[in-house]
């Protein structure tokens, strides 16, 4: 049932005819009704196609007579039939809240109380239809509105009332209208009507002093930017033309020969240092600079203006990416979302009054700035989604806009496809696809110099693909993208719980793609497929799920402190993310090492730049693709494959990186630690080399000791940081242990890692294979006995025989140095010499892991207490879990991966004290 338009009793009420249009006129009408005035007629514009003006619809809803007038006069003479329609309503007062038509004086002067008109400027300054624009273009410090007695259309009638406001530095037509001219204007018109009704309305004649007659900005020549203006004048002109019609200039995009017209929007004065960026030619001025924050233009006085959006060829783009191809997004809609798209279509049709197809352009259909406001507000009401006017400007076609609304409505977990140059292979009875470019700020891009690294399948020695190789500048771009995401992006705005939901979504998608990930891991690193499926990928997924659960459980504590009497004090701590974190990971477990570090890093709220191993970067790049599908915002994860000496060093030295996590050799770890200290004293955690001792006592379960002793060395081809680097076997069982180990080692199936019967694949790369061959030769030369293996397998691929060396003495090279391969180093110790074997075990600079096999729990715990290692295994080995902290001591590094302790590596503690 329509509202009663006489719902307030007002003894001074008058009969009003509203002449005008737009949502502003609708709100004015509603306010007049609430003040007790009677609306006897509405005179508005005719429909544009199917598009009915909002005022006409509101009149119909309120049962108010509505007249849609195409023109009020012809050849300067009022049309009699139109005058008759107008006179039929018998109004006491005409109100023109927003009127684009010329109204004859026969109408203006007909009512007994004449006519009043709203004008968005402080008359007599800025008379004319583009008054708000000129207020900004002229750099006025004050803006405002005037209600005046209508005259012959020149905005020169007597002033009834005025309201003014300050013009802020970054105000535009839209912001002034939304903040002041619209809301205050509605109330001012109603207040003016009340004053007219009670006879208190003044008629102050306009002075010609300071009066301006400014032209309507509908001609192209008036829209052109004059680059002879100062920086401030440029800013005022561009913001004065925002959001329509736009300030125009001639731009030549790199790669194009011709200049094309561009319209600039979203201006602000640039107050910082001039950033490094890409120059772009603009006719009539010095080159502009494309940078991550927009497009910098230079004024005649040397001051710069930054522009956020540029319209080229009818499409509005972010100024920072005008030289780039538009990133295409593909998404599969649910049935519910398809229904929601139809709701959006209905909203568009109600505003535009045209049939809406996928390519309908909001602005090409005649929509103006207030239509943008209406669209945003109506969509927000339906979808409870945070939209801004800019979302319409940057996605003006229906399909683009609907996609953006659905993605925002999804919030966390929005599934998106990212387009890139794929490598597609038929491997392991399936088709696999993965990127080979750098991943920076949510996009796959080529390295700046197009340098590449060859990635070889260690099982076939064949080239898999060439991967883009990051330069120092590429790393810098990635770090800056990560910093922007941390400080300004969606990642910085979402809650910890939403962050955890995103990480759970990522784990779900990794689970969905686990066979493809395992296949890529296998061909890239040589991992046996079944092991890759279970451990390389399986444990990675478990890690993401574990830390996703931690995201909303990171909290501080309250601390009792001494009070500052007579006042009291409260101290509490906050656990906060560090910022941009750099990760450098090894080649033995490419995806698992990424996950161990990055999951904790992101759960804590940081952003990350990771340099994966030079020889095994492919699962890191596939992971980046999946992170986009999971809805991880741009810039949160950046992957920069490259050389350690260049890209890795750049990450370690970068002053914006505040934490570095590294897994690799002790030698490189020392270099990394020095870089972190010299650059900016960044926090660092290091998981380095190992020479982990495994003690096997006479009283062990020998079958289990043989089986797990072999696994401790040969697991993942020996390319395992916690591999048992030296076995100490007690005299009483030494010979039997060796006999069984050699017999079982001979049974190991070496071959194609994709064959499910294979248990031992190729070494990761040729240089490592050669290092293992040299390692065995050194051992034999020093007197160790080669019980089995030690040679390259006679077949294509980097296959190395599992090896057993015995009679190893403490002074030998192989007793002290890590092989990082499937080489079992066995030394014997005297029966009952517990103290001696523990001392020998600790006689190394490494302290990563250790193990003991014995049925005597006292002996086992005595060993665990005295061994210098970050991990101790008792009657097991390689038993890691995502909830158990992992990390070493001494020259095996410091800091922890996995478990709650890993979060500490990526958090900082802030103590806050309040006095009250």
Rounded Cα–Cα distance for residues 517 and 715 (Å): 20
Output the six-digit token pair for 726: 């030296």
Query: Are the C-beta atoms of 721 and 687 separated by less than 8 Å?
Result: yes
Rounded to the nearest 5°, which phi and psi values hold at 159? -85, 135
Q: Which strand (E) or helix (H) includes residue 894?
A: strand 893-894
Output the six-digit token pair for 819: 């092989």
Rounded Cα–Cα distance for residues 315 and 255 (Å): 18
User: Which phi-psi region, left, alpha or beta, contains residue 546 (left: φ > 0; alpha: ψ -120 to 50)?
Assistant: alpha
Whether cis (ω within 30° of 0) applies to the bond prior to 465 is no
Q: For the chain, what is the largest distance between any 2 Cα atoms, rounded to a whole number of angstroms? A: 123
Rounded Cα–Cα distance for residues 760 and 751 (Å): 7
3-state secondary structure of 43: strand
3-state secondary structure of 193: helix
Q: What is the β-pairing status of strands 260-269 and 247-252?
A: antiparallel
**What's CA 59's distance to the chain center, in Å?**
46
For the chain, how far is it from start to end, CA to CA, in angstroms?
A: 56
What burial class does residue 83 get, using C-beta atoms within 10 Å of its C-beta: 0-12 exposed, 13-18 middle, 19+ buried? middle
Reference 826, options 730, 753, 754; nearest CA is 730
Rounded Cα–Cα distance for residues 787 and 824 (Å): 10
* Alpha-carbon dihedral sign for residues 109, 112, 118, 122: positive
Output the six-digit token pair for 48: 């544009």
Reference 372, options 350, 391, 353; nearest CA is 391
Query: Are the C-beta atoms of 134 and 211 separated by less than 8 Å?
Result: no
Helices within 9-164 (DSSP H only): 22-34, 54-61, 80-87, 105-108, 131-137
Active site residues: 119, 687, 721
**What's CA 832's distance to the chain center, in Å?**
60
Q: Tally DSSP H helices, then E strands, for the chain.
A: 29, 40
Query: Are the C-beta atoms of 878 and 715 separated by less than 8 Å?
Result: yes
Query: Are the C-beta atoms of 486 and 580 separated by less than 8 Å?
Result: yes
Rounded to the nearest 5°, which phi and psi values hold at 612? -75, 170
Reference 348, options 378, 391, 385; nearest CA is 378
Query: Are the C-beta atoms of 549 and 599 separated by less than 8 Å?
Result: no
């Amino acid at each position: 049932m329509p509202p009663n338009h006489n719902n307030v009793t007002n003894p001074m009420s008058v009969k009003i005819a509203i002449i005008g249009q737009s949502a502003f006129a609708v709100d004015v009408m509603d306010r007049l009704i609430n003040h007790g005035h009677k609306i006897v007629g509405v005179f508005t514009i005719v429909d544009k196609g199917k598009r009915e003006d909002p005022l006409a619809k509101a009149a119909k809803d309120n049962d108010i007579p509505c007249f849609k007038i195409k023109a009020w006069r012809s050849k300067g003479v009022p049309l009699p039939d139109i005058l008759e329609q107008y006179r039929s309503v018998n109004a006491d007062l005409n109100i023109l809240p927003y009127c684009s038509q010329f109204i004859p004086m026969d109408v203006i002067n007909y009512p007994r109380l004449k006519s009043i008109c709203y004008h968005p400027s402080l008359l007599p300054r800025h008379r004319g239809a583009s008054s708000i624009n000129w207020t900004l273009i002229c750099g006025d410090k004050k803006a405002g509105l005037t209600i005046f007695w209508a005259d012959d259309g020149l905005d020169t009638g007597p002033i009834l009332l005025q309201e003014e406001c300050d013009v802020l530095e970054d105000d535009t037509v839209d912001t002034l209208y939304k903040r002041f001219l619209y809301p205050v204007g509605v109330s001012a018109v109603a207040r003016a009507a009340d004053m007219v009704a009670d006879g208190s309305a003044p008629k102050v004649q306009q002075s010609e002093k300071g009066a301006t007659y400014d032209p309507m900005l509908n001609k192209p020549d008036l829209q052109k930017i004059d680059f002879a203006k100062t920086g401030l004048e440029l800013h005022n002109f561009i913001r004065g033309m925002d959001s329509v019609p736009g300030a125009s200039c001639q731009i030549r995009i790199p790669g194009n020969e011709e200049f094309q017209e561009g319209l600039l929007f979203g201006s602000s004065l640039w107050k910082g240092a001039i950033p490094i960026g890409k120059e772009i030619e603009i006719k009539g001025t010095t080159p502009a600079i494309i940078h991550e924050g927009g497009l910098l233009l230079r004024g005649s006085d040397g001051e710069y203006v930054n522009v956020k959006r540029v319209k080229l060829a009818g499409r509005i783009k972010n100024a920072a990416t005008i030289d780039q191809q538009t990133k295409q997004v593909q998404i599969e809609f649910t049935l519910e979302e398809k229904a929601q798209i139809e709701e959006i279509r209905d909203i568009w049709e109600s505003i535009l009054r045209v049939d809406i197809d996928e390519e309908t352009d909001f602005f090409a259909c005649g929509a103006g700035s207030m239509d943008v406001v209406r669209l945003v507000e109506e969509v927000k009401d339906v979808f409870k989604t945070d939209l801004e006017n800019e979302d319409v400007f940057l996605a003006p076609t229906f399909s683009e806009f609907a996609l953006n609304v659905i993605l925002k409505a999804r919030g966390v977990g929005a599934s998106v496809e990212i387009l890139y140059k794929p490598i597609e292979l038929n491997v392991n009875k399936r088709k696999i696809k993965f990127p080979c470019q750098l991943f920076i700020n949510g996009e796959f891009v080529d390295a700046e110099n197009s340098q590449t690294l060859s990635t070889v399948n260690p099982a076939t020695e064949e080239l898999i693909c060439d991967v883009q190789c990051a330069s120092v500048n590429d790393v810098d771009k990635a770090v800056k993208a990560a910093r922007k995401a941390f400080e300004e992006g969606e990642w910085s705005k979402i809650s910890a719980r939403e962050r955890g939901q995103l990480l759970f979504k990522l784990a779900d998608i990794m689970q969905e793609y686990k066979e493809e990930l395992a296949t890529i891991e296998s061909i890239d690193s040589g991992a046996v497929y079944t092991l890759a499926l279970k451990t390389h990928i399986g444990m990675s997924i478990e890690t993401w799920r574990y830390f996703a659960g931690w995201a909303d459980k990171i909290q501080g504590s309250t601390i009792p402190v001494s009070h500052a009497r007579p006042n009291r004090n409260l101290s509490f701590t906050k656990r906060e993310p560090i910022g941009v974190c750099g990760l450098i990971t090894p080649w033995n477990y490419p995806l698992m090492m990424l996950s161990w570090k990055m999951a904790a890093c992101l759960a804590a709220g940081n952003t990350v730049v990771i340099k994966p191993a030079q020889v095994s970067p492919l699962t890191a790049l596939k992971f980046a693709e999946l992170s986009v599908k999971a809805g991880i915002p741009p810039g949160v994860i950046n992957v920069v494959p490259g050389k350690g000496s260049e890209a890795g060093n750049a990450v370690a030295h970068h002053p914006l990186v505040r934490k570095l996590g590294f897994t690799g050799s002790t030698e490189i770890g020392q270099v990394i630690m020095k870089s972190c200290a010299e650059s900016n004293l960044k926090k660092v955690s290091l998981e380095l080399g190992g020479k982990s001792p495994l003690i096997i006592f006479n009283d062990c379960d020998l079958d289990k000791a043989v089986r797990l002793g072999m696994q401790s060395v040969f697991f993942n081809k020996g390319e395992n940081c916690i591999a048992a680097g030296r076995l100490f076997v007690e005299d009483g069982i030494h010979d039997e242990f060796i006999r069984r180990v050699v017999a079982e080692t001979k049974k190991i199936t070496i071959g194609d890692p994709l064959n499910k019967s294979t248990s031992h694949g190729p070494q990761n790369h040729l240089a490592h294979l050669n290092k293992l061959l040299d390692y065995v030769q050194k051992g034999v030369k020093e007197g160790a006995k080669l019980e089995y293996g030690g040679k390259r397998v006679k077949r294509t691929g980097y296959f190395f025989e599992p090896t057993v060396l015995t009679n190893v003495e403490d002074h030998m090279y192989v007793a002290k140095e890590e092989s990082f391969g499937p080489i079992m180093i066995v030394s014997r110790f005297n029966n009952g010499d517990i103290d001696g074997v523990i001392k020998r075990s600790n006689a190394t600079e490494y302290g990563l892991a250790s193990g003991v096999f014995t049925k005597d729990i006292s002996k086992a715990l005595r060993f665990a207490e005295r061994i210098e290692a970050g991990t101790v295994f008792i009657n097991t080995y390689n038993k890691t879990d995502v909830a158990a902290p992992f990390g070493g001591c001494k020259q095996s590094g410091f800091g922890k991966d996995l478990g709650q302790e890993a979060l500490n590596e990526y958090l900082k503690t802030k103590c806050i004290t309040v006095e009250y």
